[in-house]
Amino acid sequence: MSLNVLVVDDEALARSRLRTLLGDCVAPTALVAAEAADAVQAMAALQRGSFDVVLLDIRMPGLDGMALAQRMAALPRPPAVVFVTAHAEHAVQAFELEALDYLTKPVRLERLQQMLQKVERMVQSGRGPMPDSEGEMLVIHDRGRTERVPLAEVLYFKAELKYITVRTARRSYILDGALNELETRHAAQFMRIHRNALIARHAVRALEKHFDPEEGEGWAVRLRGIDEVLAVSRRQVSAVREAMVG
């Protein structure tokens, strides 16, 4: 299939480069059906035609890309929004606006092709750009990289000094935030087992006796998908048992 694309960037050279790169994409192919140098031109193009995806710069004169994305979300059939910018610090805000993707300049052909494949899957499924099929997402910004991690894949949150470790079966991430806030927000999916840890209720595999060098004899929980054990405070042991039989 060929995807209809609207390119929005106040720099003509940037629009030209994207047009060239999109012309080199295959499976799916992409057609730049319109270009716009600012938000006014972009909204006019959206009123005239239908687009599968808008490649949107953030810093533009007048209404910026973030504000334009909010306006597009109110359209009867909003296109997918992909931010294309040299400013990586906006990635978290972009994902909060439910952008389908976030590309940094200079855009690589391989990365552009991956984005188009996401758009193709969205179009074929008949869904809008919201990641409903993926469920709720955590937006994690770590070492200059921003990515979305499905909450359903998280096995535990563990407070470590000034940050929180987010553990999935495949890897660990670092998250800025407060454990109490995560507990409040995701109480249905996660439970407190210790002052420094929350675990996914669905992932509990076993509760067993455990010796901790600092706390002595106690209890620990094993989770599906990882080998490590997590200490359970005495006051939380009964709650873990209930979760296992619930």
**Which string of DSSP letters, residue by residue, matches 153-175?**
GEEEEEEETTEEEEEESS-EEEE
- pLDDT 10s digits, 93-109: 666 667 788 888 899 99
Distance of CA 246 to the CA centre of its chain: 31
- Dmax (CA) for the chain in angstroms is 70
Listed as ranges, residues in the chain with pLDDT below 50 are 127-134
DSSP strands (E only) in 37-121: 53-56, 80-85, 101-104
Question: What's residue 128's pLDDT?
Answer: 47
Cβ(181)–Cβ(195) below 8 Å? no
Question: What's residue 104's pLDDT?
Answer: 86
Q: Long-range contacts of range 85-94, CB-CB < 8 Å, 24 or more positions apart? A: 85/57, 85/58, 85/59, 87/58, 87/59, 88/144, 88/146, 90/58, 90/66, 91/139, 91/141, 91/146, 92/139, 92/141, 92/146, 93/66, 94/58, 94/66, 94/69
pTM of the predicted structure, to 2 decimals: 0.54
For 7, 67, 126, 130, 162, the CA distances from 121, given in Å and listed in that order, are 20, 26, 9, 12, 39
Domain 139-245: give its CATH architecture: Beta Barrel (2.40)
What CATH number has the domain spanning 2-131? Answer: 3.40.50.2300
Question: What's residue 92's pLDDT?
Answer: 58
The domains of the chain are located at 2-131, 139-245
Angstrom distance (rounded) from CA 50 to CA 77? 9
Question: What's residue 132's pLDDT?
Answer: 37
Question: What's residue 95's pLDDT?
Answer: 62
